[in-house]
Each structure stands twice: as C-alpha cells, then as structure tokens.
Amino acid sequence: MEDTYLHKGLRKKLVEEIKQKGIKDQKVLDAIGKVPRHLFMDSSFTKFAYKDQAFPIGSGQTISQPYTVAFQTELLEVKKMDKILEIGTGSGYQAAVLIELGAKVYTIERQKKLMLKAKALLPKIGYNPHIFYGDGYSGLPSYSKFDKILITAAAPDIPEKLLEQLEIGGRMVVPIGSSYSQTMTLVVKTGESDYKKSEHGYFVFVPMLKGKV
C-alpha cells in the first residue's frame, strides 16, 4: 500500500492534464491530487493508474476516467458534511474523492466481488464510506434523504426512486442514454415533485443494471 514520490509526481501531472481539459474547481483538483488511484487498480495496471483513462477492475467493470470523475464531482458541487449517495461503488475511487471533499458517503454496488474488494481496501487507506451490496435503482430509503446523488453507471432515465430520496434543493448527477453514449445530466430538485434538468455533454459509462449479482 505504498504511495511513493513517483506516484505523487505522476498524480500532479494528471491534475494538470484534467485542468487543461476544463476542470476548474480547485477543491476537486486537490482531491484528485490526493487520492492514490494506483491503489484502486490491479497491480498489472498500476503503471497506467495516472493516465487519464478508464481501466478494467474485474467483473467486466471499469474505474472511471479521472477527467470523468472530476467532471461529475464538479457538477455535484460538494460541500463539507454533504450526505451523498453514490450508485456504482466499483473500485471505490470516486467515493474516496468525495470523502476528500468532506462528504459523508453512502455507496451501493450490485457486483458482490467488487463490493467486497472496496470494503476491504477503503478503510485500509483511510476512507470510510458506508458500503452496501444491492441494486442502486432502489437507493437507500432508510438512510434518505440525501443532499447529493451521484450515479456512476449509464441509466436509461432519471431513476424515480432516487429522485424521491433527494433533498429539495439537492443535486443529482446521472449519465442518461443508450449503452453507446450518454448525456451527462444534472437534476436539481426544486420541490417535492419538481426538478430542473440540464445537460452537460456526452460520456460513455458501463450500464446501470437491475438486480444484484
């Protein structure tokens, strides 16, 4: 579980790269600069850990591209002590970035293997989100409501049950579309059954699937 000067140097370069690509929020850039991404990847991939690319993490899933993580995080406008629900724990990297920003994180993963791996890794390197094995489409009604909801898999539409679990004034960031391409969508809840939606460019995520495996 080493974080060497080499890793730190590579991470600095990565932060510069995503800044060039348009990420402006200094707090988000600092968080990316702090989380040791190489520890979230299988050892055969660690030399790619600080490239701005998605990579396989097993079970047919990927750790998102750092730029994409930063982009979603920026749109979420995370504040200290925000209670955030993440759908798609995956490697746990995105959850760690949210924790660096001072959030309390609840995260759900439908792939048992990945959930267990993240649950073993995160506390070891100083991150303590609440990790759940389950279907993100149901959310966590007993822990709601949430200030922010972040979906890190491609949804066909705004998941209704998740919108219900968002505070009024809260923000949900969700890539919506087909399996080939999705529109990054920001949903701001303006009333019990009202929301405003805005679109923020195209991305490609693995699909948000029903049930758990």
- Which amino acids are annotated catalytic? 64
In sequence order, the β-bridge partners of residue 111 are none
Smaller CB separation from ligand SAH, 114 or 140:
114
**3-state secondary structure string across the chain:** CCCCHHHHHHHHHHHHHHHHCCCCCHHHHHHHHHCCHHHHCCHHHHHHCCCCCCEEEECCEEECCHHHHHHHHHHHCCCCCCEEEEECCCCCHHHHHHHHCCCEEEEEECCHHHHHHHHHHHHHCCCCCEEEECCHHHCCHHHCCEEEEEECCEECCCCHHHHHCEEEEEEEEEEEECCCCEEEEEEEEEECCEEEEEEEEEECCCECCCCCC
Q: Which of 47, 46, 93, 45 is nearest to 68 (CA)?
A: 93
- Residue 73 beta carbon to ligand SAH: minimum distance, rounded to whole angstroms: 11
The residue among 43 and 193 lying less far from ligand SAH, judged by its C-beta, is 43
Q: How many residues bind ligand SAH (CB under 6 A)?
A: 23
User: In whole angstroms, how close is the CB of 152 to ligand SAH at the nearest point?
Assistant: 4
Of residues 82 through 121, those in contact with ligand SAH by CB under 6 A are 87-88, 90-91, 93-94, 108-111, 114
Least distance between ligand SAH and beta carbon 10 (Å): 18
- Compute the least distance from the CB of residue 80 to ligand SAH, in Å: 21
The packing angle between helices 93-100 and 26-34, to 10°, is: 120
Work out how close the CB of 1 gets to ligand SAH at its nearest, in angstroms, rounded to a whole number. Answer: 17
Among 35, 64, 67, 172, binds ligand SAH (CB under 6 A): 64
Nearer to ligand SAH, 97 or 186 (CB): 97
Task: Give φ, ψ of 94 to 5 degrees.
Answer: -60, -40
Among 4-12, 21-29, 171-179, 201-209, the segment contacting ligand SAH (CB under 6 A): 201-209
Out of 14, 63, 70, 99, which residue is the one contacting ligand SAH (CB under 6 A)? Answer: 63
Q: Give the residue with the Cβ less far from ligand SAH, 138 or 183.
A: 138
Interaction between residue 50 and ligand SAH (CB under 6 A): no
Contact residues for ligand SAH, defined by CB under 6 A: 61-64, 87-88, 90-91, 93-94, 108-111, 114, 135-137, 152-153, 206, 208-209
